[in-house]
Amino acid sequence: MLKFVNKIKNGLKGSVTIPADKSISHRAVMFTSLAKGKSVIKNFSKGQDPLSSVSICKALGIDAEFENDLLIINSTGKLAAPKGILDCRNSGTTMRLMSGILAGQSFNSILTGDESLSNRPMKRIIEPLALMGAEILSNDYKAPLNIHGKNLHAINYTSKLASAQVKSCILLAGLNIEGKTSFTEPYISRNHTEIMLKYMGANIHTNNNSVTIEKSQLEPRTIEICGDISSAAYFIVAGLIVPNSKIILRNVGLNPTRTGIIEVAEKMGGNIEVLDKKTVSGEIVGDIQISYSDLKACIIEGEIIPRLIDELPVIAVLATQAEGTTVIKNAQDLRHKESDRIKAVVTEMKKIGADINETPDGFVINGKKLLTGGCEVETYHDHRLAMSLYVAGLICEKTVAIKDFEWVDISFPEFDRLFNSIIL
Ligand code: S3P
């Protein structure tokens, strides 16, 4: 689908309730599937990626049904051997977390994915799982993954990467085995797994950058899922760069391992205010108010990178409107997401007139630059590229046509409707 985006004349105004967090939705369905009894998940994401996790849990014998706005899970606490291949479609989180769950089962399973997922690196999970005694056959460390269920043993693993998917994979494998399994990462990545496993009664402890888990039987729970700050990010950036804007975003997850975008917006001089905070199902949630701002460039590097990794494409759009040179470093893993997001962002943003260049591990962006638009841009079948280019299109002089815009449905099917509701 070709999506045409035009320059906003009178600013963005009003409020938007941000839909459910994708990362937390994946975890909610997987973890309640492992808990014996009935769990209720409120506000489960309608994105295609979390729905891939639901399909796979069902294929593993779990009774998972939507009833109005609730996802009801009934589980015996045990998974059953699947009858066919488990298709993770575009979802890296599904593949990497399910591998940790499946490696220690008493049956074999095969995980596949679409073209993009089949090109993403799986060595990062296969290697530590193999150290635990797992047997996983792959296509040169890529999907499909042929997992032979084995009795695993606990390890202490130090990862070179700060990755919540790798961390979660190892912790989920450790949930089912005797002894203490620990995972240490260079910087803290998102900790939704740790929070939810604890909320469901697991024996799990965090100490700085290390997490330790022991064999635990999870208990069923009611879990309410907060809004996704990665989805809110498109509205945050749009509110900051579209002249005359003033918007409020409601029910946004504000877990500190995810709020790097707010810190960057503040550092750039953005008018952004967190209005009210509370805790829901173990996660911090609040409302955010954003208004159009004069922005200045900044350096983004180091420990903050895992806390804003998915927001970097739209932060690149933000930086085009900041006075000076913004440098984004240490983000080499962006090349291994749904697309090579460094190359893709630079190629497409140049087309619409941005002064942006690629480095091996990030971007150099010179602002403040008037974006011209008046062209067609590619999304590389990457939802975050599509949404970032839409936000850029809102300030382009001429119409931008975004190809394959339907890919936004991977994480945020409500995107277009919610943006239209704040365009005057
Ligand atoms: C995710 C972790 C991050 C993120 C991805 C979702 C998760 O990936 O980019 O969109 O839900 O754990 P990495 O763990 O590969 O950094």
Beta strand 246-253 pairing with 13-17: parallel
A 10 A CB-CB count for 71 gives 23
User: Are 177 and 105 in contact, with CB atoms under 8 Å apart?
Assistant: no
Could you state, in order of their start, the residue ranges of all structural domains in the chain? 3-20+226-420, 22-224
pLDDT in tens, 342-366: 999 999 999 999 999 999 999 999 9
Ligand 1 pocket mutation pick from 23, 52, 336 by most atoms within 8 angstroms of CB: 23
Write the single-letter amino acid at 91: S
Query: Given a cut of 90, is residue 130 above it in pLDDT?
Result: yes
Atom of ligand 1 at shortest range from CA of 164: 14
Classify the C-alpha dihedral 259-265-266-270 as positive or negative.
negative
Query: Given a cut of 90, is residue 75 above it in pLDDT?
Result: yes
Average pLDDT, the chain: 98
Q: What's the CA-to-centroid distance between 341 and ligand 1, angstroms?
A: 14
Closest protein CA for atom 11 of ligand 1: 23
Query: Given a cut of 90, is residue 64 above it in pLDDT?
Result: yes
Mean pLDDT to the nearest integer, 377-392 = 98
Closest protein CA for atom 16 of ligand 1: 163
Mean pLDDT to the nearest integer, 161-190 = 98
CATH code for the structural domain at 3-20+226-420? 3.65.10.10
Q: What's the CA-to-centroid distance between 337 and ligand 1, angstroms?
A: 9
What pLDDT score was predicted for residue 421? 98
User: Are 182 and 146 in contact, with CB atoms under 8 Å apart?
Assistant: no
- How far apart CA 345 and CA 317 sit, in angstroms, is 9
pLDDT > 90 fraction of the chain, expressed in percent and rounded: 99
Q: Which residues are catalytic?
A: 310
DSSP letter for 394, please.
T
pLDDT in tens, 135-153: 999 999 999 999 999 999 9
Beta strand 398-402 pairing with 373-377: parallel
Mean pLDDT to the nearest integer, 28-40 = 98
Q: What's the CA-to-centroid distance between 91 and ligand 1, angstroms?
A: 10
Mean pLDDT to the nearest integer, 406-424 = 97
* Residues having CB within 6 Å of any atom of ligand 1: 23, 93, 163-165, 168, 189-190, 309-310, 333
Closest protein CA for atom 9 of ligand 1: 310
Ligand 1 pocket mutation pick from 98, 159, 309, 341 by most atoms within 8 angstroms of CB: 309
pLDDT > 70 fraction of the chain, expressed in percent and rounded: 100
Atom of ligand 1 at shortest range from CA of 306: 16
The predicted model scores a pTM of: 0.98
Residues 6+ apart with CB under 8 A from 1: 404, 405, 406
- How far apart CA 375 and CA 377 sit, in angstroms, is 7
Mean pLDDT to the nearest integer, 397-413 = 98
Between vectors from CA 82 to CA 38 and to CA 24, what angle results, nearest 5°? 45
What pLDDT score was predicted for residue 424? 78
Closest protein CA for atom 13 of ligand 1: 163
Mean pLDDT to the nearest integer, 259-272 = 98
Q: What's the CA-to-centroid distance between 396 and ligand 1, angstroms?
A: 30
Ligand 1 pocket mutation pick from 163, 308, 411 by most atoms within 8 angstroms of CB: 163
Ligand 1 pocket mutation pick from 190, 192, 211 by most atoms within 8 angstroms of CB: 190
Architecture of domain 22-224: Alpha-beta prism (3.65)
pLDDT in tens, 291-343: 999 999 999 999 999 999 999 999 999 999 999 999 999 999 999 999 999 99
What pLDDT score was predicted for residue 276? 87
Q: What's the CA-to-centroid distance between 406 and ligand 1, angstroms?
A: 21
Atom of ligand 1 at shortest range from CA of 27: 11
CA–CA distance from 171 to each of 132, 204, 307 (Å)?
11, 9, 20
pLDDT in tens, 154-172: 999 999 999 999 999 999 9
Query: Given a cut of 90, is residue 259 above it in pLDDT?
Result: yes
Closest protein CA for atom 10 of ligand 1: 310
Residues 6+ apart with CB under 8 A from 38: 72, 73, 74, 220
pLDDT band at 126 (very low <50, low <70, confident <90, very high): very high
Q: What's the CA-to-centroid distance between 155 and ligand 1, angstroms?
A: 22
- How far apart CA 130 and CA 148 sit, in angstroms, is 11
